[in-house]
Homo-oligomer: A and B are copies of this chain.
Amino acid sequence: MAEISTLGEFGLIRRLTKDIELKNTETLKGVGDDCAVLNFGSKEHDVLVTTDLLMEGVHFDLTYMPLKHLGYKAAQVNFSDVYAMGGTPKQITVSLALGRRFTVEGMDEFYEGLRLACDAHGVDIVGGDTTSSRTGLAISITCIGMVEKGKAILRSGAHPTDLICVSGDLGAAYMGLQLLEREKQVYYQQLEEARRKDPKATLDFQPDFAGREYLLERQMRPEARKDIVEKLRSAGIRPTSMMDVSDGLSSELLHICHESGVGCRVYEERIPLDYQTAVMAEELNMNVTTCALNGGEDYELLFTVPLTDHEKIEQLEGIRLIGHVTEPSLGAALITRDGQEFQLQAQGWQAFS
């Protein structure tokens, strides 16, 4: 019997879904992109569907993640998948499995965060399921969106010579997570020491987040990039392929290369980094490029545009050109600051590692 970890998340999904044939004319695109694309007879809009399942202890840690932030983030990460198709999120369903220690007030907080996110993006909460859990919290959100008919931006449309662009900056959410984990360790160490002297000791602990607010915000309060989709639209730029950066830039670039049947060259020096990300990486003795490539949870948009859009893209604030699409034979390469070439590897967040 093979263990799941031998395949990894993407390997497992591929195995389970590889020979699925689509039966319905209402299904335009099934498994394999940020959203499925459906149409039920509308001449104006296609329907987008995406879903996420978040498990306590795997995707979030309630010791430092307030429920309000968790609700906010759980909604945003689903909106991000809809924007990654060039669409607009319209509805979500929210299913929760609650452990015994959850209180009604806790759930009110979760919903407060959820609603904040929904209000900001014009999304309706239209249904869901609430049940109990023998163990931790499980959150499943499905987001329904819409996109102009036939205009969903897939991962499969990149062509050689296209420019590769990314919004915002990368690696900060991962650094935020490292910071939270470090302070959690410090807290438990101090608590243990205090309890060695007095077994009933409590701790008035103040985590040290000074000057790191941006990293925390990126980890705890991500914002789906609706603004980027709108900016591209008003600039008359239509990406040839797009996806959101949830598992890490490396992993996402490989998805686009695989789905489009192309290669890519991206330049280390062009990967957008925030100052706090760089400082934190140095402090933790980590390579900041590795964090940006493999950290994940950035929820930025990665997309390709035709070479002819070069000037238009350069004029847009908050978008960085990081490389270009190549023939598939060249593979997916990272060119380092000193001119060396490495093949990209999907070391991103591995759900089964």
A contact residues vs B (CB 8 Å cutoff):
1-4, 6-7, 9, 12-13, 15-17, 20, 22-24, 26-27, 29-31, 35-36, 38, 40-47, 49-53, 55-59, 90-91, 93, 95-98, 100, 102-108, 111, 115, 122-136, 138, 140, 142, 144, 146, 351-352
Contacts and interface: CB of A to CB of B under 8 A. Distances in A.
A131 B58 contact: yes
Nearest to A81: B127
A56 B38 CA distance: 31
A146 B30 contact: no
Nearest to A104: B2
Contacts of A58: 97, 131-134
Given A2-B104, A103-B1, A125 B17 contact: yes
Contact of A122 (B24, B36, B104): B24
Nearest to A105: B1
The complex is assembled from copies of this chain, and their number is 2
Contacts of A124: 20, 22-24, 27, 30
A250 to B, nearest CB: 19
Given A30-B125, A36-B127, A135 B132 contact: no
A107 B16 contact: yes
A95 to B, nearest CB: 4
Contacts of A38: 47, 90-91, 126, 144
Contact of A51 (B6, B22, B50, B127): B127
B105 A53 contact: no
A53 B17 CA distance: 21
A95 B135 CA distance: 18
A53 B131 contact: yes
A127 B52 contact: no
A142 B144 CA distance: 11
A317 to B, nearest CB: 29
Nearest to A12: B130
14 contacts: A13-B128, A20-B115, A24-B124, A38-B47, A40-B90, A41-B42, A41-B45, A49-B144, A50-B93, A51-B95, A51-B127, A53-B129, A58-B131, A138-B138
Contacts of A134: 55-58, 135-136
B53 A4 contact: no
Nearest to A53: B95
Contacts of A127: 30-31, 35-36, 49-51
A198 to B, nearest CB: 27
A40 B53 CA distance: 26
B125 A53 contact: no
Contacts of A22: 124, 126
Given A4-B98, A35-B127, A51-B127, A352 B40 contact: no
Nearest to A351: B131
Given A97-B138, A135-B136, A126 B49 contact: yes
A126 B142 CA distance: 13
Contact of A40 (B3, B20, B23, B47): B47
